């Protein structure tokens, strides 16, 4: 039980010490929280004077600005990067220099643009624009010639030339030509397909960019206005709000100047120990209170202990008598063995507690005496230093405040100048919303027309691509045309038709496509070189140089009351639109970007303390801070009484006795346990022992009452007495080992401080006053330096403007101009590819129309011979027979027989092809005479199908020809059928060579010839 209470007392002690260590500033004990360093007189004075105020930087507030900038410079080509790259490289190649040569455009009179005409600078213009002019001229020539070439080709094909008519069978190398031309045309078609895709995508991207342009420009304008607003907040916070905070700080310093100097003087002279000494005498009341509490608690504890001791003696006698009368009972013997009831008494001897009554009387005598007043006299003498100094400087404080206010007015005037410039910029931006809305209306009105025109161009190219693709598929995969109604719908003849359709579409649309491409080319390249390139690279741009000379941005520096001046061309090159863009991209401050040093001289701000006589008034204030007369901080009477206090009985109180006595148990036996044992014993006694049982029960009840009333009360009083004693002991030490040592030490320090103030006080006060003035000026100088540094370097960092500027360029030049230029590049490349594609299409169309493969060199030679005659021709009967031109010989009639074979000389026409008899006889005749005209008739393409050479009679004459057949078609045959020039066959030269051995029945002369 003693250990339990001992632990509780230690916890109370620790809590008490923690509470004492964290007392508020008004607690007299706080000044002794740290022992003061021992300083020698005048040693290290400079070290202590470096922080007189002590100087602390004013905690200036920061502006509440918004960073919700929403403009973005993100741009994704989305698969069109290759096209944009090639287009930009091409533009750089044809116009690598700037928009116009040096000196070609000039500004006269500040607002007139003068252009140097061709008569003066034409060689320079030719060298500058020759590439772009060549592209333009070539495009115009292309646009003019392509329709003429198409018309010429059309006329040529209408007359049967230019591949319109050809032999129905392949020439020797036609198969290779067909494959070779087809592969080349397929490659060009793939290129055309890329161009068509780029045309569609560029048109869509261009439309998206045009639709997003107003919103993107609005975002950039809103960000610019937000940046201007944030900059105004930063300027107002720095020049107005922060100055008000500085002014408040300086005013507090001036009004507390006496206290500041006095406190520093006390630190240097160690006169601050007066505060500790005063705390000692002021603490006597608290010590008296503690002593009174200790004396009272001691008396209560001793009285209660006496009462408890008497009660325990009575209970001990009664219990022993009753237990002795029942000693023959087992339960009575057990309780006697368990508890030593004879020792039931008080364990602690409370009479050993110190008697503090004499000490309390002694301390009461000190308090009723004048020790407190004597010590306070010295404190009051030292406090007079503050009053003297404060009264001396009060006359200068109003003037200094007025000068500080004048500085603030000058700073606010500069703030108004900056706000005026920012308001002009903001007004200019605000005025741009109306033109932007007008432009947005024009875009919404006319942009759909542009879109659909470009969409028409893309669809035209797509139709051409479709025709080329179908023509190639039919040409590569289709069968040969047979010339009848039962041909496949996708044979090579169909492919030839698709290719020729593509040719006519190209001829019809080439001029339109090229004109559109040239228009986009001229406007796109001009916009790129006049607008986008100068905005992206403003420094070396001649366009921006002209703009710089037209618009004088230095007018923002003009004040409202300035006389209007005649507008002259700006001669300075360090402040113009180009420099603003360049400096803004470098993230300079708005002060540097707008060259506001011409409006505000920041160097003059640093001279404000001298210009407004603040330094002069501070020097006057410092000169009035003096220490005159002797300061007595410790009287002889105070010294005597303090010595008596150090030798008083307060230093000889036996505090360990409290810990020793109060740490013991109050009773030798736990009364609660004994009471429970008595009740248990009484319950086990037989009924014959009723009087003993009743007596033991009553004694148990008394013990519990003593425990609850006396023992519990004594425990509470003991804890309070112990804590009060510990507190008294701590109060009497004064951060020393004892009261005597504390008072003696403080007396030595006060005597040293008294000597220091007497010998060195005035000199130290003068130095302190000088340091005070320097620290005061330091606050002002550092604030002015803060203004200069932040205005010049930090306020209005231009990255939001740069981001908004770049976002606008991305919205206009990247998202609009790139697809705009990509469109004309795609259309132009496709138009240029028309020329080789047309040639290949014409050649392939002629090759795809041939119905039969290469038959061999002999048939080809016969066909070539007959094709050049002006009459109806047939192939020769023999491969070795010589051909002669019989163009001028008289024609002979062709006779026909009902047999319909070669010997019957019947000219089988288109209407006879359906007669199986005729066709059958013809086939039979050909099979019987393989060497005499048994080969296939290739003259169908020339309108002479199934016309055979009549066989000669034995006499060599020809039979008479039958009447001319009637034709059911306009040209006497099916489509592409040519009407024979004459119904009579004109006999070839009169010789026949059947080969090494002629046919049977041939005349000998024919064999010999």
Top mean-pLDDT range of 57-71, 115-129, 277-291, 346-360 = 57-71
Mean pLDDT of the chain, nearest integer: 72
The band of 4, judged by pLDDT with boundaries at 50, 70 and 90, is very low
Give the least confident one: 135-139, 303-307, 564-568, 891-895: 891-895
Q: Is residue 353 over pLDDT 50?
A: yes
Task: Average the pLDDT over each of 6-15, 440-449, 619-628 and give the range with the smallest value.
Answer: 6-15
Sequence-distant (≥ 6) Cβ neighbours of residue 624 within 8 angstroms: 392, 393, 395, 396
Evaluate if residue 613 carries a pLDDT over 80. Answer: yes
Confidence of residue 530 (pLDDT cuts 50, 70, 90): confident
Of 825, 834, 823, the C-alpha closest to 200 is: 823
Least confident residue range of 58-72, 324-338, 933-947: 933-947
Tokens of 833: 């590819």
Instruction: Give the integer Cα–Cα distance in Å for 699 and 701.
Output: 5
**Does residue 687 lie in a domain region?**
no
Q: What is the pLDDT of residue 203?
A: 93
Counting residues of the chain whose pLDDT is more than 70, the rounded percentage is 63
Which carries the bigger pLDDT value, residue 552 or residue 200? Answer: 200
| pLDDT for residue 354 is more than 80 | no
pLDDT tens, residue by residue, 166-178: 666 556 666 787 7
* pLDDT score of 752 more than 50: yes
* DSSP codes joined into one string, 318-344: HHHHHHHHTTTSHHHHHHHHH--GGG-
Residue 113 DSSP code? E
Whether the per-residue pLDDT at 983 is higher than 50: the answer is no
Q: Phi then psi for 115, rounded to 5 degrees?
A: -105, 130
Is-contact 699 679, C-beta < 8 A? no
pLDDT of residue 938: 42
pLDDT in tens, 775-792: 888 888 888 888 889 888
From first CA to last CA, the distance across the chain in angstroms is 161
Q: What is the pLDDT of residue 522?
A: 92
Highest mean pLDDT pick, 610-614, 756-760, 924-928: 610-614
Residue 963 lies in a domain: yes
pLDDT at site 661: 60
Task: Answer for the pair 795, 238: CB distance below 8 angstroms, yes or no.
Answer: yes
Q: pLDDT for 485-529, tens place per residue?
A: 665 677 777 878 888 899 999 999 999 999 999 999 999 998 888
Q: What is the percent of the chain where pLDDT is above 90?
A: 12
Give which of 994, 217, 245, 104 is closest to 529, Cα–Cα.
104
Which position has the token pair 């392939």? Answer: 844
Question: Per-residue pLDDT averaged across 697-726, rounded?
Answer: 79
With b for 16 or more beta-carbon neighbours within 10 A and e for fewer, the 236-272 pattern comes to bbbbeebbebbbebbeebbeebbebbbbbbbebbbbb
- Could you write out the DSSP letters of every residue in 423-457? HHHHHHHHHTHHHHHHHHHHHHHHHHHHHHHHHHH
pLDDT at 869: 46
452-472 average pLDDT score: 92
pLDDT at 581 over 50: yes
Provide the number of structural domains found in the chain: 1
State which of 368-377, 400-409, 670-679, 927-936 shows the largest mean pLDDT.
400-409
Helices (H), 627-738: 636-646, 655-662, 671-684, 690-706, 712-733
Lowest-confidence segment of 459-473, 541-555, 705-719 by average pLDDT:
541-555
In a domain, 888, yes or no: yes
CA dihedral 808, 810, 813, 818 (to 10 degrees): -160
| Residue 669 in domain | no
477-483: average pLDDT: 68
Specify if 833 maps to a domain.
no
Q: Is residue 125 part of a domain?
A: no
Contacts of 577 (CB under 8 A, 6+ apart): 538, 544, 547, 548, 551, 553
Higher model confidence: residue 246 or residue 109? 246
Q: What is the pTM of this model?
A: 0.61
Asked whether residue 21 is domain-assigned, the answer is no
Residues 504 and 63: their CA atoms lie apart, in Å, by 72
The whole-number average pLDDT for the span 472-489 is 70
Q: Is the pLDDT of residue 972 over 60?
A: no
Give yes or no for a contact between 546 and 107, defined as CB atoms under 8 angstroms apart: yes
Who has greater pLDDT, 367 or 210?
Answer: 210
Assigned domain for 52 exists? no
Which domain covers residue 868, as residue numbers?
A: 857-1009
Binning pLDDT at 50, 70 and 90, where does residue 193 land?
very high
| Furthest-apart CA atoms within the chain: distance in Å | 192
pLDDT at 668: 74
**Structural element, H or E, at residue 813:** none
Q: What is the pLDDT of residue 102?
A: 66
Choose the weakest-confidence range: 151-160, 451-460, 860-869.
860-869
pLDDT at 773 (0 to 100): 83
Return the pLDDT at 566: 43
pLDDT of residue 847: 79
């Amino acid at each position: 039980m003693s250990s339990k209470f001992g632990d509780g007392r230690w916890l109370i002690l620790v809590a008490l010490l923690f509470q004492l260590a964290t007392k508020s500033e008004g607690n007299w004990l706080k000044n002794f929280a740290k022992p003061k360093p021992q300083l020698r007189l005048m040693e290290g004075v400079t070290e202590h004077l470096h922080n007189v105020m002590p100087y602390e930087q004013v905690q200036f507030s920061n502006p509440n600005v918004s960073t919700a900038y929403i403009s973005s410079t993100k741009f994704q080509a989305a698969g069109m990067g290759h096209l944009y790259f090639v287009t930009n490289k091409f533009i750089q190649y044809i116009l690598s220099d700037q928009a116009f040569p040096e000196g070609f455009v000039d500004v006269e009179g500040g607002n007139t643009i003068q252009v140097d005409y061709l008569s003066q600078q034409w060689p320079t213009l030719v060298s500058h624009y020759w590439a772009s002019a060549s592209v333009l001229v070539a495009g115009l020539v292309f646009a003019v010639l392509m329709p003429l070439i198409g018309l010429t080709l059309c006329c040529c094909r209408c007359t049967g030339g230019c591949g319109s008519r050809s032999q129905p069978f392949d020439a020797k190398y036609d198969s290779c030509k067909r494959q070779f031309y087809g592969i080349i045309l397929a490659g060009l078609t793939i290129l055309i397909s890329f161009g068509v895709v780029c045309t569609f995508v560029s048109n869509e991207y261009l439309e998206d960019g045009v639709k997003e342009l107003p919103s993107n420009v609005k975002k950039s304008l809103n960000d610019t206005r937000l940046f201007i607003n944030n900059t105004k907040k930063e300027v107002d916070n720095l020049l107005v709000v922060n100055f008000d905070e500085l002014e408040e700080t300086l005013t507090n310093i001036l009004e507390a100047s006496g206290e500041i100097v006095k406190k520093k003087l006390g630190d240097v002279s160690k006169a601050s120990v007066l505060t500790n000494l005063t705390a000692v005498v002021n603490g006597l009341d608290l010590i008296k209170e503690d002593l009174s509490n200790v004396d009272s608690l001691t008396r209560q504890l001793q009285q209660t202990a006496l009462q408890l001791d008497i009660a325990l003696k009575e209970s001990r006698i009664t219990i022993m008598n009753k237990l002795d009368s029942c000693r023959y009972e087992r339960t009575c013997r057990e309780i006697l063995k368990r508890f030593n009831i004879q020792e039931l008494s008080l364990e602690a001897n409370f009479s050993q507690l110190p008697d503090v009554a004499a000490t309390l009387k002694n301390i009461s005598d000190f308090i009723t005496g004048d020790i407190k007043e004597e010590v306070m006299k010295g404190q009051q003498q030292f406090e007079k230093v503050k009053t003297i100094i404060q009264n001396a400087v009060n006359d200068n404080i109003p003037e200094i405040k007025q000068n500080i206010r004048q500085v603030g007015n000058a700073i606010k005037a500069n703030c108004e100048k900056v706000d005026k410039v920012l308001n002009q910029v903001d007004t200019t931006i605000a005025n741009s919303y109306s033109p932007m809305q007008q432009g947005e209306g024009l875009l919404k009105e006319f942009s759909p027309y542009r879109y659909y025109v470009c969409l028409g161009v893309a669809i035209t190219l797509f139709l051409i691509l479709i025709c080329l693709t179908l023509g190639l598929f039919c040409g590569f995969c289709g069968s040969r045309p047979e010339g009848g109604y039962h041909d496949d719908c996708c044979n090579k003849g169909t492919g030839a038709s698709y290719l020729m359709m593509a040719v006519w579409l190209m001829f019809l649309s080439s001029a339109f496509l090229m004109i559109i491409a040239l228009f986009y080319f001229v406007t796109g390249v001009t916009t790129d070189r006049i607008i986008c390139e100068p905005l992206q690279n403003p420094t070396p741009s001649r366009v921006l140089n002209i703009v710089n000379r037209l618009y004088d941005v230095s007018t923002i520096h003009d004040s409202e009351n300035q006389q209007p001046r005649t507008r002259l061309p700006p001669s300075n090159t360090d402040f113009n639109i180009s420099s603003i863009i360049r400096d803004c991209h470098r993230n300079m401050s708005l002060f540097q970007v707008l060259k506001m040093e011409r409006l505000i001289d920041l160097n003059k701000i640093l001279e404000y303390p001298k210009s407004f006589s603040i330094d002069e008034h501070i020097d006057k204030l410092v000169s009035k801070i003096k220490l005159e007369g002797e300061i007595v901080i410790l009287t002889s009477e105070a010294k005597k009484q303090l010595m008596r206090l150090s030798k008083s009985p307060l230093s000889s109180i036996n505090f360990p006795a409290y810990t020793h006595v109060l740490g013991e148990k109050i009773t030798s036996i736990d009364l609660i346990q004994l009471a429970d044992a008595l009740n248990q014993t009484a319950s086990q006694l037989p009924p014959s022992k009723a009087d003993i049982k009743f007596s033991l029960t009553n004694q148990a009840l008394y013990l519990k009452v003593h425990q609850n009333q006396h023992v519990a009360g004594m425990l509470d009083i003991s804890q309070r007495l112990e804590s009060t004693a510990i507190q008294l002991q701590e109060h009497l030490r004064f951060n020393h080992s004892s009261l005597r040592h504390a008072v003696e030490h403080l007396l030595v320090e006060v005597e040293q401080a008294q000597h220091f103030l007497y010998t060195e006080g005035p000199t130290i006060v003068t130095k302190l006053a000088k340091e005070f003035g320097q620290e005061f000026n330091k606050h002002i100088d550092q604030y002015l330096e803060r203004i200069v540094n932040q205005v010049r370097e930090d306020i209005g960092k231009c990255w939001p403007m740069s981001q908004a500027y770049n976002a606008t360029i991305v919205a206009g030049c990247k998202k609009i101009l790139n697809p705009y230029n990509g469109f004309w590049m795609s259309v132009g490349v496709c138009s240029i590819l028309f020329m080789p594609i047309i040639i290949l299409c014409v050649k392939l169309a002629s090759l795809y129309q041939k119905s039969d493969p290469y038959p061999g060199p002999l048939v080809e030679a016969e066909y070539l011979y007959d094709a050049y005659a002006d009459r109806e021709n047939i192939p020769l009967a023999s491969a070795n027979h010589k051909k002669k031109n019989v163009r001028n010989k008289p024609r002979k009639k062709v006779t026909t027989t009902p047999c319909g074979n070669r010997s019957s000389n019947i000219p089988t026409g288109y209407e006879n092809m359906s007669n199986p008899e005729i066709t059958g006889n013809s086939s039979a005749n050909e099979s019987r005479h393989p060497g005499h005209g048994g080969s296939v008739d290739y003259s169908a393409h020339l309108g002479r199908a199934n016309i055979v050479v009549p066989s000669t009679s034995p006499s060599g004459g020809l039979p008479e020809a039958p009447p001319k057949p009637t034709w059911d078609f306009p040209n006497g045959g099916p489509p592409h059928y040519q009407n024979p020039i004459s119904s009579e066959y004109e006999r070839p030269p009169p010789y026949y060579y059947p080969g090494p051995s002629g046919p049977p029945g041939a005349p000998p002369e024919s064999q010999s010839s």
